């Protein structure tokens, strides 16, 4: 096969993924709810973005692979299309048997205890199921798994010649650390300019960050509304907001429009005293990713059976400071701080455990949380080792804590029935619902 033919072969899963997303757009279009209209808007973005990558492959144009936590504002400003290795585990939830088969296959390569989402990414690389980008910006935090995933890529025969850069994350968030990471981001820009031919124009970066700041302001305003009782929206919207503000349309006017629609809908619901659930009885903090798979059954069940609404989740939380766009230096420092200390999961899991605990305290207070759920995804080794501290923190602030122990992507690890049982016993024992 020629190089071009190989790339097209590698695109097949990506095209399937695009088609799955397209089907979701159609499903959301048929839905009358305002919430699902928002889902449709974002899913359309994902379809467009997939099409853009497909076009780049077919037309031999530069594109990269990267992540939300690597200052994607820079990619928007450089007009550089990018995709992430992590999507298959999410979209795979639509076709569970296929996802399960891929999970099983990935276990043969990497064993059982490596995080499922990273294992699937590694599997895609090893099996030639992902389009080879012009360059890769690797992620070295928040966990061990992210670092070693990129080492798999670097040793894979087909991928080893793809230029790769990773910004080294310091363990702290003080001025010294922010300066250090800002230096790493500048090196990242030099790397991207060298390998993609796209240049970073500082005016364009300023424009992008200003737009991104608007998105964060709107998001924060929206999150104020989620403090209302009843909560205007349920699970999923937080992830959607994260997807807009920190993923493929970060700093793009389309994203700002999305937030305005979101805010308008939430304001209306709060004014009318309407919540996602007619009889809201339990307000949850789901302290992890709201994965697509569990969104089809577990989270709706919680709402219907228990009146339990995920008022806040890890990815919906917005402890962001706006970036000062007055100089190049202030922008890089702002991006460094955001990448180290603001973006979800990286924020909590990257550094010391206090980051988990302070967020729990704050969210419980601000959002009138009735109970904290640590799903306990099997890949979160650092979180697993923080369970005792989280439990004690919740005890101190007088809120029940439930640690489940599941796989956010493989429902066979802990089944739906087992999880429902855990929740039911928990709510009953705690006098909730």
Partner 1 sequence: MEMKIRSKALERFTEATATLVNPEIHRWKKQGGKVIGYFCSYGPKEIITAAGLLPFRMRATGSTGTELADAYLNSINCSFCRHCFNLGLRGEYDFIDGAVWLNTCDHVRRTYDNWKRYVKTPFVHILSLPKKTGQPQVEWYRDEITIFKESLEKHFAVKITDERLWKAIRLHNQTRRLQRKLYDLRKREKPPITGAETMAVMVAGTAMPTAQYNELLEQLLHEIGDLKSGIHYRARLMIVGAILDDPAYVDVIEGQGGLVVTDMLCFGTKMMWKDVDEGASDPITALAQYYIAERPSCPRMFGDYPRRAGFVRDVIREFKVDGIIGERMLFCDNWTVEHFMMGKEFKAAGIPYLTLDREYLLAGVGQLRTRVQAFLETMGR
**Do residues 283 and 365 make contact, with C-beta atoms less than 8 angstroms apart?**
no
The answer for residues whose C-beta is within 8 angstroms of residue 385's C-beta and 6 or more apart is none
- CA nearest neighbour of 181 among 53, 284, 257, 74: 74
Compute how many other C-beta atoms are within 10 angstroms of the C-beta atom of residue 22. Answer: 16
- Number of residues this chain uses to bind partner 1 (CB under 8 A): 48
Q: Does 166 bind partner 1 (CB under 8 A)?
A: yes
Q: How is residue 355 written in tokens? A: 């980051």
Q: Does 304 bind partner 1 (CB under 8 A)?
A: no
d(CA 313, CA 250): 20
Convert residues 334-373 into a mask of x (bound to partner 1 by CB under 8 A) and - (unbound): ------------------xxx-------------------
Q: How far is the CB of 145 from partner 1 (least distance, A)?
A: 5
Q: Does 110 bind partner 1 (CB under 8 A)?
A: yes
Q: Does 19 bind partner 1 (CB under 8 A)?
A: no
Choices 34-42, 164-172, 267-275, 325-333 (CB under 8 A): range interacting with partner 1: 164-172
- CA nearest neighbour of 304 among 325, 285, 326, 276: 276
Give 324's DSSP letter.
Answer: P
**Do residues 169 and 350 make contact, with C-beta atoms less than 8 angstroms apart?**
yes
List the one residue from 9, 171, 175, 429 that touches partner 1 (CB under 8 A): 171
Q: Does 194 bind partner 1 (CB under 8 A)?
A: no
List the one residue from 9, 55, 176, 368 that touches partner 1 (CB under 8 A): 176
Q: Does 255 bind partner 1 (CB under 8 A)?
A: no
d(CA 246, CA 400): 31
Q: Does 397 bind partner 1 (CB under 8 A)?
A: no
The answer for residues whose C-beta is within 8 angstroms of residue 270's C-beta and 6 or more apart is 225, 228, 232
Q: Does 375 bind partner 1 (CB under 8 A)?
A: no
Angle between helices 202-225 and 237-246 (to 10 degrees): 170
Nearer to partner 1, 173 or 303 (CB): 173
List the one residue from 15, 109, 261, 322 that touches partner 1 (CB under 8 A): 109
Nearer to partner 1, 288 or 370 (CB): 288
**Do residues 249 and 203 make contact, with C-beta atoms less than 8 angstroms apart?**
no
Bridge partner residues of 65 (DSSP): 83, 136
Compute how many other C-beta atoms are within 10 angstroms of the C-beta atom of residue 395. Answer: 11
Q: Does 214 bind partner 1 (CB under 8 A)?
A: no
Q: Does 414 bind partner 1 (CB under 8 A)?
A: no
Choices 62-70, 179-187, 188-196, 281-289 (CB under 8 A): range interacting with partner 1: 179-187
List the one residue from 52, 144, 267, 418 that touches partner 1 (CB under 8 A): 144
d(CA 92, CA 102): 9
**β-strands 371-374, 401-403: how paired?**
parallel
**β-strands 135-138, 164-166: how paired?**
parallel
Q: Does 388 bind partner 1 (CB under 8 A)?
A: yes
Convert residues 49-88 into a mask of x (bound to partner 1 by CB under 8 A) and - (unbound): ----------------------------------------
Alpha-helical regions (H) of 298-378: 298-306, 328-337, 346-349, 354-366
Choices 69-77, 242-250, 266-274, 377-385 (CB under 8 A): range interacting with partner 1: 377-385
List the one residue from 387, 397, 404, 430 that touches partner 1 (CB under 8 A): 387
d(CA 385, CA 399): 20
Nearer to partner 1, 140 or 369 (CB): 140
Query: Which stretches of the chain bind partner 1, using CB under 8 A?
Result: 109-111, 113-115, 122, 138, 140-141, 143-145, 147-152, 154-155, 164, 166, 168-172, 176-177, 180, 183-184, 187, 352-354, 376, 378, 381-382, 384-389, 405
């Amino acid at each position: 096969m020629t190089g071009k033919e190989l790339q097209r072969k590698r695109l097949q899963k990506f095209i399937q993924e695009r088609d799955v997303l397209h089907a979701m757009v159609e499903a959301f279009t048929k839905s009358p709810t305002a919430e699902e209209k928002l889902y449709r808007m974002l899913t359309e973005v994902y379809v467009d973005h997939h099409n853009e990558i497909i076009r780049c492959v077919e037309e031999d144009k530069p594109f990269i692979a990267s992540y939300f936590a690597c200052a994607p504002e820079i990619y928007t400003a450089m007009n550089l299309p990018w995709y992430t290795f992590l999507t298959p585990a999410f979209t795979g939830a639509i076709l569970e048997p296929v996802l399960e088969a891929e999970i099983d296959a990935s276990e043969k390569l990497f064993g059982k205890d490596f995080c499922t989402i990273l294992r699937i990414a590694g599997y895609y690389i090893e099996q030639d199921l992902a389009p080879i980008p012009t360059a890769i910006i690797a992620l070295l935090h928040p966990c061990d798994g992210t670092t070693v995933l990129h080492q798999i890529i670097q040793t894979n025969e087909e991928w080893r010649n793809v230029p790769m850069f990773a910004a080294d994350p310091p363990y702290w968030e003080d001025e010294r650390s922010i300066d250090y990471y800002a230096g790493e981001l500048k090196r990242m820009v030099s790397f991207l300019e060298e390998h993609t031919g796209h240049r970073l124009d500082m005016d364009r970066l300023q424009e992008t960050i200003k737009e991104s700041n608007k998105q964060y302001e709107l998001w924060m305003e929206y999150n104020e509304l989620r403090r209302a009782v009843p909560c205007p929206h349920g699970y999923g919207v937080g992830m959607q907001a994260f997807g807009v503000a920190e993923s493929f349309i970060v700093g793009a006017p389309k994203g700002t429009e999305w937030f305005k629609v979101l805010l308008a809908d939430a304001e209306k619901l709060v004014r009318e005293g309407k919540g996602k659930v007619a009889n809201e009885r339990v307000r949850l903090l789901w302290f992890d990713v709201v994965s697509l798979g569990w969104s089809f059954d577990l989270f709706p069940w919680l709402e219907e059976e228990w009146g339990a609404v995920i008022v806040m989740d890890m990815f919906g939380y917005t402890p962001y400071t706006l970036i000062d766009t007055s100089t190049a230096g202030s922008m890089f420092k702002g991006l460094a701080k955001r990448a180290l200390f603001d973006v979800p999961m990286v924020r909590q899991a990257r550094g010391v455990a206090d980051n988990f605990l302070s967020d729990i305290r704050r969210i419980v207070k601000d959002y009138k949380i009735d109970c904290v759920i640590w799903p306990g995804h099997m890949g979160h080794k650092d979180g697993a080792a923080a369970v005792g501290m989280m439990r004690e923190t919740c005890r101190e602030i007088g809120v029940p804590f439930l640690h489940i122990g599941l796989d956010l992507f493989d429902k066979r690890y802990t089944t739906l029935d087992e999880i429902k049982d855990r929740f039911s016993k928990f709510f009953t024992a705690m006098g909730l619902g």
